[in-house]
């Protein structure tokens, strides 16, 4: 996943988190950080899957 894909995935997840929490105002930074951590975990899992399939 390149940087552009990571950014797009982060935006997507941050929006999903925001919507799941009822679209509260003033929590965008928290939602963004949560989404960044989820994307990092997805990237790590994908790398692990690639390494273990060799």
pLDDT value of position 52: 83
Non-local CB neighbours of 14 within 8 Å, separated by 6+ positions: 28, 31, 32, 34, 35
Non-local CB neighbours of 11 within 8 Å, separated by 6+ positions: 35
Non-local CB neighbours of 32 within 8 Å, separated by 6+ positions: 10, 14
pLDDT in tens, 1-47: 899 999 999 999 999 999 999 999 999 999 999 999 999 999 999 99
pLDDT range class, residue 53, cuts 50, 70, 90: confident
pLDDT value of position 40: 98
The DSSP-derived string for 26-45 is: T-HHHHHHHHHHHHHHHHHH
> pTM of whole model > 0.85?
yes
pLDDT value of position 22: 98
């Amino acid at each position: 996943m390149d940087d552009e894909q990571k950014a797009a995935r982060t935006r997507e997840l941050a929006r999903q988190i925001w919507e799941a929490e009822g679209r509260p105002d003033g929590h965008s930074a928290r939602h963004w950080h949560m989404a960044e951590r989820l994307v990092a975990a997805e990237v790590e899992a994908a790398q692990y899957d690639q390494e273990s399939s060799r």
